[in-house]
Amino acid sequence: MLRRLFRWLGYAGYLLCCILAFCLYPLVRHLPPYKGLWLFAERGNDAQDNAFHLFQFVRKTAPYLSAAYLIDRKSPDFVRVARLGRTIQPGSFSHYLAFVCADVKISTHIMGYSPNPYLFTKLKFDRMLPGKKVFLQHGILYNSISSLSAERIHVDLFVCSVPKEYHELLTLYHHPKRVVQPLGLCRYDRLFQAHSEKRQILVMPTWRLFLRNCSNRTFQDSGYFQSFHCLLCHRKLHALLEQYDYELVFQLHPEMQHFTPCFTNSHPRIHISTAPPDTQSLLMESKLLITDYSSVFFDFSYLKKPLIYFQFDSEDFFSAQYRPGYFEFEKDGFGPVCRKVDEVLNALQTYLAGNMQLPSLYKKRVDTFFPPPRTDHCAQTFSAIQDLLSDSGK
């Protein structure tokens, strides 16, 4: 009861600050900090995804623009962003004014630039908010997520990456053709920059909605923990790492990282990551990815590197969290789909013995699914936003 009361008091605070910002809008919209502002955001506590890469591009190629990035001063990424340009503290009144006044609001998550994405999406503030709304996406959309339909959200630019995704957004999500543009993910520009690979295997599962706020004990009783704990502690895995001279990094999703202490290092070649991930670096430097349903498998496959799907709970996942979309793992996937730990280890052994080569079947699927690789995603997205503003007379 008290928790619910505090939540509603918090919501009231958000709304009061927002109403005050709307009242001040006519007075402050022409002041230097807010005139012509481009506001960039991810989760408010990080800067590694598409919004950061686009912000970096804008600061380097169009420094004359008024641009600001929404990030907490306590974030490990704060200094890196501050070196590029202006930052805004999430929840500050400057944030509310920027939220209302910015000519362009850009985020990787729906309403990620708002003081409370859940609340302001529910209240459909995206329909009454001045300025252009740009949704860069966090990854390639492949599940069926009704909350992203045109009936639920309003954006002026919805960035997508591949033909199947584009078709879904038009036909099933009902976004107008002028809104959906296949510009690709801004972070993909970095994937083909010069980098070195390690003899490293990356295990990076996605999160579970039904476990996110549970106790450690409940988490350790879950199939999620038991499956990955069994994999990491398996003697065959340890033997393979030693035989082929590989290291393994286990990285939990940001929504699950508070459960990291539940896992213990079971072998000197296995590293349980306790730090916030630099996801792109991990993907670029690793030779093989083991994941479940995380859309990072698209990034990894875009580099034409081998992966293994470990889907031990697909029935629960696709009933409790997401609904299946156009992408069928057995038919369209870029690696073997494994349900049990033994299957994962057998597939891993095959890849290790074959010098981590991507089989022709999966290479063909990658070539069919993705458009030809390019490194101008930021430039194309920047140009599309400029066109949006030109059409509105900005």
Q: Would you state the structure tokens that stand for residue 291, as one six-digit string?
A: 């994941």
Query: What is the pLDDT confidence band of residue 143, given thresholds at 50, 70 and 90?
Result: very high
Each residue's pLDDT tens digit, 230-250: 999 999 999 999 999 999 999
What is the reported pLDDT for 291? 97
Instruction: Judge whether residue 3 has pLDDT over 70.
Output: no
User: Lowest-confidence range among 8-12, 191-195, 295-299, 366-370?
Assistant: 8-12
Q: Rounded to an integer, what distance in angstroms lies between the CA atom of residue 179 and that of residue 137?
A: 13
* Total count of residues recorded for the chain: 394
Give this prediction's pTM.
0.92
Dihedral of the alpha carbons of 68, 70, 71, 72, in degrees to the nearest 10: 110
DSSP H or E segment with residue 180: strand 180-181
Instruction: Judge whether residue 303 has pLDDT over 90.
Output: yes
Each residue's pLDDT tens digit, 321-369: 888 999 999 999 999 999 999 999 999 999 999 999 999 999 999 999 9
What is the reported pLDDT for 12? 86
Q: Would you state the structure tokens that stand for residue 95, as one six-digit string?
A: 């944030």
What is the reported pLDDT for 9? 58
User: How would you list the strands of the sheet with 270-272, edge to edge?
Assistant: 270-272, 247-250, 200-203, 288-291, 307-310, 337-338
Contact 247, 241 (CB under 8 A): yes
Contact 192, 302 (CB under 8 A): no
DSSP string covering 127-177, please? GT-SSEEEE--SS---SB-GGGSTTT---SEEE--SHHHHHHHHHTS---T
Give the amino acid at 36: G
| Residue % of the chain over a pLDDT of 70 | 97
The per-type count for the chain, helices as H runs and strands as E runs, is 17, 13
Per-residue DSSP letter, 194: -
Q: Rounded to an integer, what distance in angstroms lies between the CA atom of residue 252 and that of residue 318?
A: 20
Q: Which of 105, 107, 104 is nearest to 44 (CA)?
A: 107
Q: Would you state the structure tokens that stand for residue 371, as one six-digit string?
A: 């458009």
Instruction: Judge whether residue 130 has pLDDT over 60.
Output: yes
Each residue's pLDDT tens digit, 48-94: 999 999 999 999 999 999 999 999 999 999 999 999 999 999 999 99
Kindly list the distances between the CA atom of residue 5 and the CA atoms of 2, 114, 174, in Å, as whole numbers in the listed order. 5, 22, 37
CA angle 292, 304, 77 (to 5 degrees): 65
What is the reported pLDDT for 1? 55
Q: Which of 156, 164, 162 is nearest to 180 (CA)?
A: 156
Query: What is the pLDDT confidence band of residue 106, given thresholds at 50, 70 and 90?
Result: very high
Q: Which of 384, 393, 284, 394 is nearest to 58 (CA)?
A: 384
Contact 210, 165 (CB under 8 A): no
- Helix, strand, coil percentages (3-state) for the chain, rounded to 5, are 45, 10, 45
Q: Would you state the structure tokens that stand for residue 77, as one six-digit string?
A: 């990424």
What is the reported pLDDT for 2? 47
Q: Rounded to an integer, what distance in angstroms lies between the CA atom of residue 246 and that of residue 270?
A: 9
Query: What is the pLDDT confidence band of residue 149, given thresholds at 50, 70 and 90?
Result: very high
